Amino acid sequence: QIKNLEKQFEERIARDEKIEPKDWMPEKYRKTHIRQMSQHAHSEIVGMLPEGNWITRAPSLRRKVALLAKVQDEAGHGLYLYSATETLGVSRDELYEQLHSGKAKYSSIFNYPTITWADMGAIGWLVDGAAIINQVPLCNTSYGPYARAMIRVCKEESFHQRQGYEIMMKLANGTPEQKEMAQDALNRWWWPSLMMLGPTDDVSVHTEQSMKWKLKRKSNDDLRQQFIDQTVPQADLIGLTIPDPDLKWNEERQSYDFGEIDWDEFWQVVKGHGPCNKERMKARVGAWERGEWVRDAAMAHAEKKQERKEK
């Protein structure tokens, strides 16, 4: 019986049919989707913190409006993705618990500090740029609710990327101090943005199975190469230098060769030892605890309303 269901499931995947919440699916398919989708949701929520740091200090009203809208979009993406994950039979409370206890991961990139205004530009340009490269193929992923969520998310990420690049463009064409600030932000965010796309294919434990299930449509290394090839000309255009002395156009491959990524740094950050891991978790857990009275009040109100209805 199970063998038959598995066979039908594999055939549906081969036909590029979407798998929907009430369809039969292998337990491992369900689990790995809960893992990736919830970690994606957590990344959006934790990802609000580095930029939230600059909302009150944006240099103009126009910049503030754009940054506020971007951070609100990230909250929306997080909630949207949590809802999509819940269709796999896990509760929102369980997902929060996994984040707060450190059991579930969130993207390494959000454990770096945002120390100047140019970091808002670098995040939009590079971090959202890398996120789009990773998420456009996910619009075609096999699980229906995830694929549909990605379509809307990608449209919004595209606005985020442009607002970031525009900040960098303005700074790079500004005073020498402003240009220096933009270059410094690029220097600090470049390598972590490359790491964000995940470990190299030879050590990526989930890629093989996730590609078979069409959860992932492109490998980590392919996405990283695509990101580099797309971003280098953008840096050239605004006169900034990618901080990689080994970066070189390879005529034969029609791609850029690039230097060694510091994978020790990546794993340190993933294991909780990055510059801001503790601060990020403290902020999330603190927000959850401070919101307890609101949740309690809402529950008490709902119960009273129900009681009145029953009388």
Does residue 129 touch ligand FAQ according to CB under 6 A? no
Stretch of residues binding ligand FAQ (CB under 6 A), selected from 22-30, 190-198, 252-260, 294-302? 190-198
State yes or no: residue 200 binds ligand FAQ (CB under 6 A).
no
Mask for 259-278, x = binds ligand FAQ (CB under 6 A) = -----------x--------
- Of the candidate spans 85-93, 127-135, 240-248, 257-265, the one that interacts with ligand FAQ by CB under 6 A turns out to be 127-135
Exactly one of 121, 129, 145, 199 binds ligand FAQ (CB under 6 A); which one? 199
Instruction: Quote the least distance from Cβ 115 to ligand FAQ, whole Å.
Output: 16
Helix, strand, coil shares, percent, the chain, to 5: 70, 5, 25
Q: Count residues binding ligand FAQ (CB under 6 A).
A: 28
Q: What is the 3-state secondary structure (H, E, C) of 26-54?
A: CHHHHHHHHHHHHHHHHHHHHCHHHHHCC
Q: Which of 210, 225, 226, 277 binds ligand FAQ (CB under 6 A)?
A: 210
> Please, are residues 84 and 144 in contact by the beta-carbon 8 Å criterion?
no
CB 105 within 8 A of CB 39: yes
Nearest residue to ligand FAQ on Cβ basis: 47
196 binds ligand FAQ (CB under 6 A): yes
Does 187 help bind ligand FAQ (rule: CB under 6 A)? no
Task: Give the SS3 label for residue 6.
Answer: helix
For 173-206, letters b (16+ CB in 10 Å) and e give eeeeeebebbbbbbebbbbbbbbbbbbeeeebee
The residue type found at 106 is Y
Nearest distance, CB of residue 116 and ligand FAQ, angstroms: 17
* 162 near ligand FAQ, judged by CB under 6 A: no
Q: Which residue has the tokens 């020498």?
A: 176
Instruction: Report, in Å, the least distance between residue 67 CB and ligand FAQ.
Output: 11
Alpha-carbon distance values, 301 to 153, 294, 295, 297, 304 (Å): 34, 10, 10, 6, 5
DSSP element (H, E) containing 257? strand 255-257
Q: Does 67 bind ligand FAQ (CB under 6 A)?
A: no
Give the footprint of ligand FAQ on residues 7-66 (CB under 6 A).
35-36, 39-40, 43-44, 47
Of 52 and 243, which has the nearer Cβ to ligand FAQ?
Answer: 52
Q: Residue 74, interface with ligand FAQ (CB under 6 A)?
A: yes
Query: CB of 221: closest distance to ligand FAQ in angstroms?
Result: 10
- Cβ atoms 201, 207 nearer than 8 A: yes
- Residue 55 CA to residue 170 CA, distance in Å, equals 18
Tokens coding 204 = 């990526």
Binding residues for ligand FAQ (CB under 6 A): 35-36, 39-40, 43-44, 47, 74, 105, 107-108, 123, 127-128, 131, 134, 196-199, 204-207, 210, 216, 220, 270
